[in-house]
């Protein structure tokens, strides 16, 4: 078994096992008190006495095989230096100041939308979780070499182009997405591409804090309304409630039940997808299961929202139509979200059992 100690310029190899020359004399080579068989020195170079705890750097010795190796004092071990390149601090400060000035209106409007739009109230948790992921990986990130890349300036330039297009075109999504591009450019410029690859997941997760474009939102919302309406219209008759569906309006004997945009499930869909990714990261280590949990959040949210509409129809038919509005409508939203989390947990347990059985068979 070989173990190598890297000194300033000398490599000393210790050999554990049979002795090469059992009868050979051992000679001290300095205050480090390393004893070695002089008959196994490399070449014709003789060992010099060291004046400190490290072997002298000017010993022209490549490798010395030592039998009976003994070390009674500390031997300084210096790892090979890591090349690092840094961007001057004043340039970073100036760049951060310019970006803060450019993106202050964008971020202010974004936080305001988190506060006032219930569809995106989960936005506050997204940057907090990304910061948590980076903080938990801080030890691994410190070990990566700093390799500042000027290609980060190209990413920053592209981010500013996207920002300009978003401002001139009054497209909020482009303006906000350009902020993520600016973050990526800063990371590459200051730390290098290796660091960006290491933090790609928390960076990409920040996409969930940006509201999707209105045109995409509308294209998703209405199909969800129709899907929930159809599910309720097909289920309620089996529970003794006659219905007549016209688009997203369900005609009940007591009243008409409209599946509005707020009842489409888009809110719970985005929130549940965000939480499914967080849940998978914290409680699961296998990437395939994490991906399946994130994908499964979509049908789980649709099923849970359909159950909410079915429950509302039962309440209208068998209790009081007035009870289906106000407090119950709000409370049912929270209740169904809890049901969604329970379904996500049960799915996770089922995937774990299936995965473990598959691994045992293999």
For the chain, the three-class secondary structure string (H helix, E strand, C coil) is: CEEEEECCCCEEEEECCCCCCCCCCEEECECCCCEEEHHHCCCCCCCCCECCCCCCCCCCCCCCEECCCECCCCCCCCCCCCCCECCCHHHHHHHHHHHHHHHHHHHHHHHHHHHHCHHHHHHHHHHHHHHHHHHHCHHHHHCCCCECCCHHHHHHHHHHHHHHHHHHCCCHHHHHHHHHHHHHHHHHHHCCHHHHHHCHHHHHHHHHHCCCCHHHHHHHHHHHHHHHHHHHHHHHHHHCCCCEEECCEEECCCCEEECCHHHCCHHHHHHHHHHHHHHHHHHCCCHHHHHHHHHHHHHHHHHHHHHHHHHHHHHHHHCCHHHHCCHHHHHHHHHHHHHHHHHHHHHHHHHHHHHHHHHHHC
**Which pLDDT score, from 0 to 100, does residue 359 have?**
59
Which pTM was predicted? Answer: 0.69
Closest CA to 251 of 321, 307, 328: 321
Q: Are the C-beta atoms of residues 30 and 51 closer than 8 Å to each other?
A: yes
The stretches in the chain having pLDDT less than 50 are 1-83
**Which pLDDT score, from 0 to 100, does residue 289 have?**
93
**Which pLDDT score, from 0 to 100, does residue 281 have?**
93
CA dihedral 64, 65, 67, 71 (to 10 degrees): 50
**Which pLDDT score, from 0 to 100, does residue 240 have?**
84
How many CA atoms within 13 Å lie on the side-chain side of 87? 21
**Which pLDDT score, from 0 to 100, does residue 102 have?**
93
**Which pLDDT score, from 0 to 100, does residue 355 have?**
85
Query: Both tokens of residue 16?
Result: 């554990």
pLDDT tens-digit readout, 27-50: 444 444 343 433 334 443 334 333
pLDDT tens-digit readout, 215-227: 888 888 888 888 8
How many angstroms separate the CA atoms of 256 and 245, rounded? 9
Query: Both tokens of residue 315?
Result: 């309440």
**Which pLDDT score, from 0 to 100, does residue 25 have?**
46
**Which pLDDT score, from 0 to 100, does residue 317 have?**
79
**Which pLDDT score, from 0 to 100, does residue 232 have?**
86
How many angstroms separate the CA atoms of 142 and 232, rounded? 54
């Amino acid at each position: 078994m070989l173990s190598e100690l890297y000194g300033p310029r000398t490599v000393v190899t210790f050999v554990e096992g049979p002795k090469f020359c059992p009868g050979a004399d051992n000679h001290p080579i300095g205050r480090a008190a390393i004893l070695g068989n002089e008959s196994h020195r490399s070449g014709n170079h003789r060992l010099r006495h060291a004046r400190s705890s490290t072997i002298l750097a000017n010993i022209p010795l490549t490798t010395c095989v030592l039998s009976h190796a003994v070390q009674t004092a500390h031997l300084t071990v210096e790892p090979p230096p890591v090349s690092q390149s840094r961007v001057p601090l004043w340039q970073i400060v100036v760049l951060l100041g310019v970006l803060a000035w450019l993106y202050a209106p964008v971020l202010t409007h974004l936080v305001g939308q988190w506060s006032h739009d219930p569809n995106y109230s989960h936005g506050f948790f997204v940057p907090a979780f990304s910061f948590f992921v980076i903080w938990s990986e801080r030890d691994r990130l410190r070990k990566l070499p700093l390799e500042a890349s000027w290609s980060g300036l190209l990413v920053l330039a592209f981010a500013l182009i996207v920002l300009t297009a978003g401002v001139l075109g009054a497209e909020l999504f482009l303006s906000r997405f350009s902020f993520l591009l600016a973050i990526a450019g800063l990371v590459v410029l200051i730390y290098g591409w290796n660091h960006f690859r290491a933090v790609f997941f928390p960076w990409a997760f920040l996409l969930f804090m940006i509201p999707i474009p209105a045109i995409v939102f509308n294209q998703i919302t209405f199909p969800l309304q129709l899907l929930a309406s159809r599910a309720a219209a097909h289920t309620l008759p089996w529970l003794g409630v006659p219905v007549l569906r016209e688009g997203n309006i369900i005609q009940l004997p007591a009243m008409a039940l409209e599946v509005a945009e707020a009842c489409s499930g888009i809110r719970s869909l985005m929130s549940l997808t965000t939480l499914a990714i967080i849940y998978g990261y914290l409680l699961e280590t296998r990437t395939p299961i994490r991906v399946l949990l994130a994908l499964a959040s979509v049908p789980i949210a649709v099923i849970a929202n359909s159950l909410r509409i079915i429950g509302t129809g039962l309440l209208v038919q068998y209790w009081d139509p007035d009870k289906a509005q106000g407090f119950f409508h709000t409370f049912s939203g929270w209740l169904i979200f809890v049901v969604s989390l329970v379904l996500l947990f049960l799915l996770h347990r089922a995937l774990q059992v299936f995965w473990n059985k598959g691994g045992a068979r293999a």
